[in-house]
Structure 1
Amino acid sequence: MGSKLQSGQRLRPVDLARPHGLSTQAVRNYEEAGILPAAERTPHGYRTYSSLHAAALRAFLALVPGHGRPTAAAIMRAVGEGAVDEALRLVDESHVQLRDDRRTLEAVERALRAPERGPAHEADGRRDQAAGFIGRLAAELGVRPATLRAWERAGLVSPRRDPRTGYRIYEEADARDARLAHQLRRGGYLLEQIAPLIARVREADGTEPLEAVLLDWRTRVSARGRAMLSGSAELEAYLRERG
């Protein structure tokens, strides 16, 4: 989306705002926030912009879908302050986060395909030891036993109780639910969002109900990746415009 503006052409706030469906106040706000370079002023005090400002606005708006508004603003402010390396570092961090999100998604998909494991028991007074299943499962997931109990209170796992001892007994489906809950938490899902998904998995006696969630998650990850490509292209165009 290269600019068709001539290098020395003067632009009004409305000229920048209209192509993007923005208000002129939004353009002024972006300038005041350091997202756009400072505007020149006419003898009567009116703002005038240039092709450089137009390129900056295109870059910012293109960065937002992939990096989020706060990071996109920080990138543009860093460029405006001449700290291009800092701007590129912020871009790199977003790519690392996207990579981690993709790995988490892949981990969830592996968890869905993994064979379920046999039941184990939680021994009272020894629940943090290796012999207690809650300790083993917590160690496997890299969480504290208290986290598994919190998940139980939230309805994410439902271990039965031994009628004789009252100890928790985690069956194969419980271990599966705990692994799914852990991976979905890593994917940014809240407990209240996970609980109904786990309930649907239990009702279906399988993980098919999560397929739509995974498809949506995968679609969002891919869309963010493509948005980052578009944002990088516009940012590079802006850097070239700045010289």
Structure 2
Amino acid sequence: MSDRAGSTSDGAADPTLRTVDLARITGYSVQQVRDLERLGVIPAAPRAPNGYRVYSRRHVRALRAYRGLAVAAGPVTARRTLRGLTEGPATAAAAAVSALHAGLHRERADLLAAGAALRAIAAEADGPTGLTRTDVAPGSDAGAGVGGPADAMSITELGGALGVRTSTLRHWEHEGLLHPDRVTSLRVRRYDVATTRTARIVAALRAAGYGIDAVRGLLVRLGREPGETNRILEARLADVGTRSLALLRAGADLADVIEAGEARVD
């Protein structure tokens, strides 16, 4: 498909567009069009003899592609991606778009896994925490024999059961997410039933991509209303679906942008 000004794939003349025309067609303001051109999101427009910018269908497609990318991945990633689509081989550009699809798929899978973990924690009926020392990796027996309730776990035991480093548990404690007991004169950490359950929730939310501050807020809300976290995860899943659809809708425009890269050498 030719995307050069003056012709299209069907041989029809490619209309010349003023900045205001391009803004009207794509739903951006005139200033946004100029800013996105300056940032390299759309190709630099040639100038007419009177000095005005002259745009074409190529610029329309690039702006439509950017709109979908911005919804799917955010404006910063969208700008970087659009600039990169015309700088290398078409196969590499197509792979960059595929990577965005894959990232959304992973995000959705992580959220589903977190939701399943939280439901399992809430529904457990076979034990107070759902974790036992049989869940601990072989050889992870540090802390065994240290005083404390029989159903409490040492930091090594809990880290092994959750599949996280002990340094991670210490960081969560430092951030105020966990509050283990300290026993013996050595102030050894012991994680009781409630703290162990909280650690499982934190692990599930962190695996779903939540930052420390967001996890802290969710724990507070979870304490007030147990079903709140699941509702928030459902909202995140709906958002991933919206972003995925936006990326799918941008697909044809992205393909045209890739094919129209004049500097590409395959």
TM-score bracket relative to the smaller structure: 0.7 to 0.9
Shift of 1:13: 0.8
Superposition map of 1:1-243 within 5 A? 7-81=13-87, 83-114=89-120, 115=124, 116-117=129-130, 129=142, 131=144, 133-162=154-183, 166-202=187-223, 207-239=226-258
Secondary structure (helix, strand or coil) at the match of 1:233 reads: helix
Shift of 1:188: 2.9
Shift of 1:88: 1.5
Counterpart residue identity of residue 156, structure 1: L
Quote the Cα distance in structure 1 between the aligned partners of 2:256 and 2:143: 57
Quote the Cα distance in structure 1 between the aligned partners of 2:33 and 2:198: 49
Q: Decide whether the 8 Å contact of 1:78 with 1:86 is kept in 2.
A: no
Secondary structure (helix, strand or coil) at the match of 1:41 reads: coil
Question: Could you report, residue by residue, the CA deviation over 1:176-195 in whole angstroms, capped at 9, with x for unpaired residues?
Answer: 21121122123332222212
Gaps of 5+ in 1: 121-126
Gaps of 5+ in 2: 1-7, 134-139, 145-152
Secondary structure (helix, strand or coil) at the match of 1:117 reads: coil
More divergent stretch after superposition (61-70 vs 26-35): 26-35
Q: 1:199 to 1:211 in 2, by over 3 A?
A: same
Q: Decide whether the 8 Å contact of 2:26 with 2:60 is kept in 1.
A: no
Counterpart residue identity of residue 142, structure 2: Q
Shift of 1:53: 1.5
Instruction: State the identity as a percent.
Output: 36
C-alpha RMSD of matched pairs (Å): 3.1
The count of aligned residue pairs is 232
TM-score, with normalisation over the residues of structure 2?
0.74
TM-score, with normalisation over the residues of structure 1?
0.80
Shift of 1:157: 2.0
